[in-house]
Every structure is written in C-alpha cells, then in structure tokens.
Amino acid sequence: MSRPTAAEKRFTTISGEPVAALYEDGALPPAPGEFPYTRGIHPSMYRDRLWTVRQFSGFATPEETNLRYRYLLEQGQSGLSVAFDLPTLMGYDADHPAARGEVGHCGASICSLEDMQALLRDIPLGDISISMTINSPAAILWAMYLVVAEEQGVDWTRLSGTLQNDILKEYIAQKEFIFPPAPSMRLVTDTLEYATRHTPRFNPISISGYHIREAGSTALQELAFTIRDGLEYVDHGIARGLKIDEFAPRLSFFFNAHSDFFEEIAKYRAARKLWATLLRERYGAKDPRSLKLRFHTQTAGCSLTWQQPYNNIVRTTLQALAGVLGGTQSLHTNSLDEAFALPSEHAVTIALRTQQVIAHETGITGEPDPFGGSYFVESLTQRLYEGALDYIRRIDAMGGMVAAIESGFPQREIADASYRYQREVEAGERVIVGVNRYTVELDAPVPLLKIDAAAAENQCRKLSELRARRDTVRVTTALEALRKTAAGNGNMMPCILEAVRAYATLGEICQTLRTVFGTHQETSVL
C-alpha cells in the first residue's frame, strides 16, 4: 500500500481513521458567537469592529522607543505592544555585568519607574491598549505601568491591555526564566488575583503558543501545549480561592501565524472549541465570557529569511491573512528585516500597511467565518482538536503541565519536531523560497536600524543619578517588606508596587526575590 500524501493525511483523525462525517447531516458548526465558538467569538466579528492593529516595538532607550510608539499611532496603529531587551527580560539592570552588550538590542531597556514614565510619555493610558511581552519579572513591569497610569490620573478600572506573564512556556520553549517553577507560578497567580480585584479590563496573563512554535513545534503541539498551559493557570487560580467565572474572562491567548495557510486557520478554530469545551466540562464555567477564547496573533518570525528578505513581505501577508480568517482579536505583522535586525521605520511601516490593506481593501471582514463549512478546513479543525485532546490527556496523566515540564516531555516533543523540520529543509523535501530553491547570488540591500552604544551608556548614567537622589531608606524598607512577604504566603503585588513607587530598580527587586526563591537551573532533556 502506498503512503498517504500530506493532503490525504489531513482528512483523517489523529488515530488514522477517515473523517467520514464531521457534523450530522452535513450541517455547519454552530454560528459565530455560539458555543463552542469554533466559528468565532462574536456573531458579526469584524463587521462591527476590526482587530486591534498592534505592532511589537522596542529598542535602545525608553525615550527612543516612545518616539517610535508615537509614530506608529500617528500612522494608524490602534494598540501598543512593548518589546523589552534581554537584561530586562532576565531581571537585570542596565549596569549589571550580565547586561553588557545587550542593553537596548532586542527591545527597550527598562530599569525603573523613571524609564517606564519615559516609555509611556504623552500616551493616554486610559484610551490606548498596552501589551507587554514580559514573563519572569512581569509583576514588576506591570506595577510600573500601573503607577504611571496612577500618575496620569487614570483609574485602574479603565486600563486595557495584556501582560504576557506566561512562565510555563518559558520553561517549555523560550528559556527566559529566573525563579524555579513553584515560586514563579505563585507570582503569576498573585498578578491574576490582583488584576481580578483591581483591573477588571486588563488581561493579566496571555497564554503564549507563539514562542512554542518559534522553538520548532508543530501546529498541533503549539495548540495542545498552549491550551494545557491555560488549564494549569486556571487550576492555580481556583486553588487561590478565585471562582472560575471571576477570572477566566480576563485570560487571553497568543498564537503564531505560520506558513501552512489552511492549517493555521483550522488551528485557531480548534483552539476556540477546545477552550470553551474544557472550561465548561472541567470547571463548570457558565459565563460566556469565560468560554470565549480571545487571542492575539503574530506572524512567524522563524519563517523569515535573511536571503531575499523582500520575500518576507509576502510571507507576512499570507500569515496575517490566515490570522484574520481564523478570527484573531489582535494582530502583529513582522517586518521584512527582522531576520537580521530590529525593524527600521521603513520596514515597520510596510508591515503596518499590510494589515491596513487586508482590513480595508480585501472585503474579507464582511464574513465572520469565510471557511465555515469547507470540508477541508472543517476536517483540519477536527483533526487538530482531537490531536490536542490526546496531548492534553497525556499531560493530565503526568500530573499536569508543571510535572510534564519537570520530566522534559514538551521540551522533547518540540526538539524532535524541530529536528524533523530542519532535516526536511536540508533534504529539499520542504521548499523555502530563496533558501533551498530559487536562490540568487546577490540580494537587494535592506536599510538596517542600528543601536548606538550610547544607549547603554545613557541607561547606566540615568541609573546612577536615580540612585543618588532617591530616598534610600524608603527603598530599603520597601525591599525588606517584599522579602518578608515573599518568604511567607501573602500576595506580593502590594509590596512590589510600593518598591516601584520608591524607585527601587528592576534588578534590585528581582535580586530580593532571588534571595528568597533561588534561581532555576534547567537540566538537559536529550
């Protein structure tokens, strides 16, 4: 018997059996806006409101990044998404020895409340949705944002946006962790509890499959591990004493938009069905808002190539289109130069215009779920749904996602998938245009954004000046209060807020927590 083709495989369930009848009598899934929301969480989807256009941006100093934000807003962007540099992501100040050579290179350097004030200067936080891609020190950066809003006179109940704050995917894929899993999950749950009480419109966790996919996972693994991470956060919220319908409406998701066009559309549809079904069946969620999976999409950074970089515009356009056709609530389009540099103003403008052309010139916003009823897309949706359930049951049997991570299960699965993908590329079985087929000797030059070394010097100078003029006693008192709370079992957010108001730095706050929690050392899973 000959081996089935890739297309034939898509019309089978995860067990290999053909999908004979997805829905009784050939009926469509329930309409958009109806449980289990396979076809979309709103009846009219983009007819009433477009997705949030949100370009991920950050580089050099907070002052320079602020100028980029204001430029993007002037060009029609409708929400901001903050990229932080590696020292910030790892909880180090710009003058720490470990930060040398990295300050401002992959995002904005934020060391204190003073930097956050500069980053958000002249941006009305009561009107603009802010997304922050930060994980291990997420509670600290969120506290800085809350204090800036306070200083602007904006009531916290008006604030909208998203804190990524997904530490589980750091252990699985991105590896930007500081503390061991248990205290890290406590920090995440502290922010979840605090947000539930004080910021009802803000999403305190964005459960991220994006970085799982960027690490080399398949679409199925991205879907399964992301949804299972979400269930783990739900379990911790309930263990804290929160009711499911009290906090689940504020959980959001973040998915990759990769290059297999129909598979990506089906992935988003399956994700909505999974989340709605599992929250109703496992936790008895009743509020429709708890069941509606809301997600941000970013086009696939790992699909971009430095060879023939203008091809990246085409890749990004098709990936963005898949995100929109799959029903995303928010979208970032990568820039053509991101395979080898931070986005230039020219490149990021093209990326922004890509979304605007899709929104206003294609007509696809007029139909909530254009592929609903397509046998091909419905088959893919069902196959991904079943495959993800299989993964989720296996992780349940291990004792949950933390236990699965500690055993190395998702890490091994992703490593194996990444290896298979790379072998296919190198063997020419998977075509990458401009890389292993249709290559050229010379590519057209691309103007690059370069980070001046003065950015790091400026950040270090500002830190020195801040430490010289702040109230040292207040800082010491605030950090000691945080240390005691961390050593106990209280919610750490009030103490973190007080430390931020006292102008304790990110590095000082993280170091205080390191003395209590220690740091995480990953062991090899291969």
pLDDT tens digits for the chain (526 residues)? 344 444 444 444 444 444 444 544 445 789 999 999 999 999 999 999 999 999 889 999 999 999 999 999 999 999 999 999 999 999 999 999 999 999 999 999 999 999 999 999 999 999 999 999 999 999 999 999 999 999 999 999 999 999 999 999 999 999 999 999 999 999 999 999 999 999 999 999 999 999 999 999 999 999 999 999 999 999 999 999 999 999 999 999 999 999 999 999 999 999 999 999 999 999 999 999 999 999 999 999 999 999 999 999 999 999 999 999 999 999 999 999 999 888 999 999 999 999 999 999 999 999 999 999 999 999 999 999 999 999 999 999 999 999 999 999 999 999 999 999 999 999 999 999 999 999 998 777 788 888 888 889 999 999 999 999 999 999 999 999 999 999 999 999 999 999 999 999 999 999 999 999 999 998 876 6
Residue 363's Cβ-count burial label (10 Å; 0-12, 13-18, 19+) is exposed
Provide the terminal-to-terminal Cα distance of the chain, rounded to the nearest Å. 35
What are 125's two structure tokens?
């936080």
What are the phi and psi torsion angles at 437 (to 5°)? -160, 150
| 3-class SS of residue 342 | strand
Q: How many residues does the chain have?
A: 526
Residue 177 and residue 409: Cα distance in Å, rounded? 18
Determine contact, residues 126/158, Cβ cutoff 8 Å: yes
Residue 207 and residue 169: Cα distance in Å, rounded? 8
| 3-class SS of residue 242 | coil
Residue 288 and residue 266: Cα distance in Å, rounded? 22
DSSP assignment letter at 250: G
Domain locations along the chain: 6-423
Determine contact, residues 135/164, Cβ cutoff 8 Å: yes
As beta bridge partners, residue 206 has 252
Q: Cβ of 526: how many Cβ atoms within 10 Å?
A: 8
Domain 6-423: give its CATH architecture.
Answer: Alpha-Beta Barrel (3.20)
Residue 84 and residue 132: Cα distance in Å, rounded? 8
Give the DSSP H or E segment for 25: none
DSSP assignment letter at 31: P
Determine contact, residues 391/404, Cβ cutoff 8 Å: no
Location of structure tokens 């240390």 = 483
Residue 488 and residue 63: Cα distance in Å, rounded? 38
Residues 6+ apart with CB under 8 A from 255: 209, 210, 213, 222, 226, 267, 268, 271, 295, 296, 297, 323, 328
Residue 47 and residue 363: Cα distance in Å, rounded? 10
Determine contact, residues 83/57, Cβ cutoff 8 Å: yes
Residue 476 and residue 493: Cα distance in Å, rounded? 17
pTM for the complete prediction? 0.93
Give the DSSP H or E segment for 317: helix 311-325
Location of structure tokens 């290999």 = 16
As beta bridge partners, residue 163 has 132
Q: What pLDDT digit, counting tens, does each position of 197-241 carry?
A: 999 999 999 999 999 999 999 999 999 999 999 999 999 999 999
